[in-house]
Amino acid sequence: MKTNIEKEYKLLVTKEQFEQLVSLYEPIFFHKQVNTYYDTTDHRIADLHGAMRIREIDEHFIFTLKLWKKQQLYEYECEVKNNSIEALQNEQIVMLLKEHGIYGEMTVLTSLTTYRGEVISNDAILCFDHSLYNGIEDFEIEYEYRREHDGRRAFQTILAPLHIQYEKNCISKIQRALQSLSQ
Q: Which residues pair with 77 in a beta bridge?
A: 2, 64
Q: Give the number of C-alpha atoms closer than 13 A to the C-alpha of residue 91, restricted to the C-beta side.
A: 0
Buried b (16+ CB within 10 A) or exposed e, 98-114: eebebeeebeebbbbeb
Query: For the chain, which residues score pLDDT lower than 70?
Result: none
Cβ neighbors of 165 (< 8 A, separation 6 or more) are: 156, 159
Q: Using DSSP bridges, classify how beta strands 72-80 and 106-120 pair: parallel, antiparallel or unpaired.
A: unpaired
Contact 3, 73 (CB under 8 A): no
d(C-alpha 30, C-alpha 49), whole Å: 30
Contact 38, 54 (CB under 8 A): yes
Looking at residue 168, its pLDDT comes to 84
d(C-alpha 65, C-alpha 87), whole Å: 13
Looking at residue 181, its pLDDT comes to 85
d(C-alpha 143, C-alpha 73), whole Å: 15
Contact 131, 33 (CB under 8 A): no
Looking at residue 169, its pLDDT comes to 81
Looking at residue 55, its pLDDT comes to 98
Q: For residue 92, what are the CA distances in angstroms to 89, 104, 163? A: 8, 16, 46
pTM for the full predicted model: 0.92
d(C-alpha 52, C-alpha 168), whole Å: 23
Looking at residue 63, its pLDDT comes to 98
Q: Which residues pair with 137 in a beta bridge?
A: 132
Looking at residue 56, its pLDDT comes to 97
